[in-house]
Structure 1
Amino acid sequence: MAPGTTVKQEKPILMDHPFPKSTSSIEKCKRLFETVSPEDTLAILINADPDAIASALALTRLLWRRIKRTLVFHVNIIKRADNLAMIKLLKIQQQHIRKLNPAEITRWALVDSQPSHHELLSKYKYDIIIDHHPFVSSTSAQFLDVKEDYGANSTIMTEYLRATKVKPSPRLATALFYGIKTDTDNFVRPSIQSDINAFRYLYPFANLNLIKKIESSEMTRQTLAGFRAAMENLTFLKDKAFIHMGRVNDPDILVIIADFFLKMVEATWCIVSGVYGQKLIVIFRNAGFRLNAGSTAQSLFGQWGSAGGHTSTARAEIPLQEIESDVKESDLREWILEKLKTI
């Protein structure tokens, strides 16, 4: 090579479709390891819930000693008592994304989500994306594994660990076990045999006493106040329980209430809405055999914001400015009710 000649670095090849189902976990892990180098500092971004937290922990373990450093950042403010208990009891190391310095990062990863799922996630180009939600056509990365039929992202990560013969520590196994447990709602939500296999594999390694403690940490005085307001605002449309909470200080209360009120024998649907900041958030839970929560959320609210999910769980987030010409904030309850009547 002549003096002064610069070597042109090849542009990374991006995957614009996930791995085919026939691709083994061993082959995927080989590709995963080829995506990083020993000098890399990796940022793992998550929308923190138990499944995402566990997935980030597993990816950190998989890449241990293969890269220089791993940092985990969450885009949401974590307020749910059980999630905070999980982080405290399992000593999870993560930071809010406001502390992220992009100049320090050489590789980017996203687990249990896709860039379009959150405006803060959409700001970055990812080298690694591992998810189990419905594939969004705009999603691309050097390593792209999206398994829509899986009940939990933690199942995918457990399969990677097994493929690379990495025995999970009790801490990691407990996190993954709880991630599968919560995202499948104890296998009440749609899941497949792979979820069951991962759950059974992790069982001997997991600390079940910690699981019990985390699960018993769900209620706070603020949560109970939310339940009182929900009782006062509960409306039934045949088998659909609907609750509009108005303005809320924490959007997670909408999820907690939706999960709880679906337990009523009269309800096969529970829809809970509220305004957080400048967004209308609508949570869907479906326990029936008819219709799909994700497609229902998309058809009702997709034209104004992000909406979608799984068969039994879904979410819509609508900027208020997108609907201000159609409805006042004080009339949101009636506006949503009219739309629910079309289900």
Structure 2
Amino acid sequence: MSPVDAVLGRLRTASSLTIVCHDDPDPDALSAAIALELLARESGVETVDILYSGTIAHQQNRAFVDLFDVELEHYSQDRFETNDLVAFVDHSYPGRNNSVPRETDLDLVFDHHPPDRPIPADVVDVREEYGTTATILAEYFRRSRIEITPRIASALLFGIHRERLDFYNRPTDLEYEIGTYLHGRADSDLLRELYGASFLPSSVDAFANVLHNRVRRGPCLVSCIGRLENRVALAQAADFLLVIDGIETVLVCGIVRDQVFLSARTIRTDLDLSDLLERLFGDVGSAGGHEDMAGGQLPLAVIDDGATTDVELVASMRRYVEDRFFGALEHSTGKIDA
């Protein structure tokens, strides 16, 4: 049985579905969620709830939710247990980058991240060869009789664009193929409006600090800044730094409340950022993501060696994070020119 038949067959047995996005959902997760919602409703599912934890702070993520009228609810255990089926999109494991209890069994999982252990779900559609989860969900419309709408085509196309940095950051042939399929069915005016979404003032302030504090060694950039209001600005800044001429790998870090957050990007095909950050910082915090796009979180106490000011904290963070990261890159390539 094909994945499409297995998923649609399972949906036809249910009257309600809960879709869980990972924490701080991005356009890949959000577009996959509303695509699955359409598939479910067209299969006879009457109630569909989309849950998430964390925040939606990135300007394009907020615009995405508004322009596509995405109905989201903050995760609660009571809400989670309400419906017949539970599906994960763009993540695979309960308790990892989500608020779902670790021992939970799932019904459906859609993801493009490589699994590191068996996934606790009845129907699993994980395609490591795909660059986005949006690409996977788009295939369900191509391989079934369910007609894709301009809203969903636009959402999936934008999810693919953002996940692959507008086709700059290691898309697969499948993203180009599906992009062509979606392009002819998408609302171009809606996409133009989405790309014009404005930044939060706090993000602009963070960008200024990231640019000022950046340190370059050969094709690599690291920037450690002080406190900021939301960690999304770090991911936005990392995306921006990666398009600087001659830059291949970027790490940006900053302090949100009592945590140090890391955001890394690379265009190198021989470097696995998820594995690198896990090896460097997994013993004192958490880290993970993709080969080309990863992040991490460390307790502030790990880098705080008695600092009494933000300036001293940034200096401590640079000593701890910057030196480790550059050192690991030098080891992996043999040399990083100063």
Q: TM-score range by the shorter chain?
A: 0.7 to 0.9
Indicate if the aligned counterparts of 2:271 and 2:292 stay in contact, CA closer than 8 A.
Answer: no
Asked whether 1:57 is paired with 2:42, we answer: no
Shift of 1:99: 8.5
Deviations 1:290-339, CA, capped at 9 Å, x for gaps:
42322222221222333233332111223446x37x85672222100220
Structure 1's 125 and 288: CA in aligned 2 closer, same or farther, altered over 3 A? same
2:122 corresponds to: 142
Structure 1's 274 and 100: CA in aligned 2 closer, same or farther, altered over 3 A? farther
Amino acid at match of 1:339: R
Identical-pair percentage: 23
2:232 corresponds to: 252
Amino acid at match of 1:83: N
1:179 corresponds to: 159
User: Which runs of structure 2 are paired with 1:111-150 in the superposition (5 Å)?
Assistant: 111-115=89-93, 116-123=95-102, 124-150=104-130
Indicate if the aligned counterparts of 1:149 and 1:191 stay in contact, CA closer than 8 A.
Answer: no
User: Which runs of structure 2 are paired with 1:257-336 in the superposition (5 Å)?
Assistant: 257-320=237-300, 323=302, 330=313, 331-336=316-321
1:42 corresponds to: 17
Which range moves more in the overlay, 266-275 or 118-127? 118-127
Shift of 1:267: 2.3
Shift of 1:140: 1.9
Structure 1's 165 and 319: CA in aligned 2 closer, same or farther, altered over 3 A? farther
Please give the secondary structure, in 1, of the residue aligned with 2:226.
strand
Indicate if the aligned counterparts of 1:114 and 1:136 stay in contact, CA closer than 8 A.
Answer: no
C-alpha separation in 2, matches of 1:157 and 1:190: 19
Structure 1's 320 and 128: CA in aligned 2 closer, same or farther, altered over 3 A? farther
Which range moves more in the overlay, 333-342 or 301-310? 301-310
Unaligned runs of 5+ in 2: 308-312, 330-338
Indicate if the aligned counterparts of 1:152 and 1:183 stay in contact, CA closer than 8 A.
Answer: yes
What is the aligned-residue RMSD (CA, Å)?
A: 2.2
C-alpha separation in 1, matches of 2:305 and 2:160: 39
2:335 corresponds to: none
Which range moves more in the overlay, 92-101 or 239-248? 92-101
C-alpha separation in 2, matches of 1:335 and 1:112: 31
C-alpha separation in 1, matches of 2:124 and 2:300: 33
Which of 70, 82, 103 pairs up with 2:60? 82
Indicate if the aligned counterparts of 2:52 and 2:73 stay in contact, CA closer than 8 A.
Answer: yes
Please give the secondary structure, in 1, of the residue aligned with 2:2.
helix
Shift of 1:136: 2.7
C-alpha separation in 1, matches of 2:211 and 2:34: 38
C-alpha separation in 2, matches of 1:211 and 1:306: 34
C-alpha separation in 2, matches of 1:27 and 1:89: 33
Asked whether 1:106 is paired with 2:87, we answer: no
C-alpha separation in 1, matches of 2:263 and 2:81: 36
Please give the secondary structure, in 2, of the residue aligned with 1:101.
helix
C-alpha separation in 2, matches of 1:238 and 1:328: 32
Which of 75, 89, 108 pairs up with 1:97? 75
The total of aligned residue pairs comes to 316
Please give the secondary structure, in 2, of the residue aligned with 1:35.
helix
User: Which runs of structure 2 are paired with 1:150-229 in the superposition (5 Å)?
Assistant: 150-229=130-209
Which range moves more in the overlay, 92-101 or 181-190? 92-101
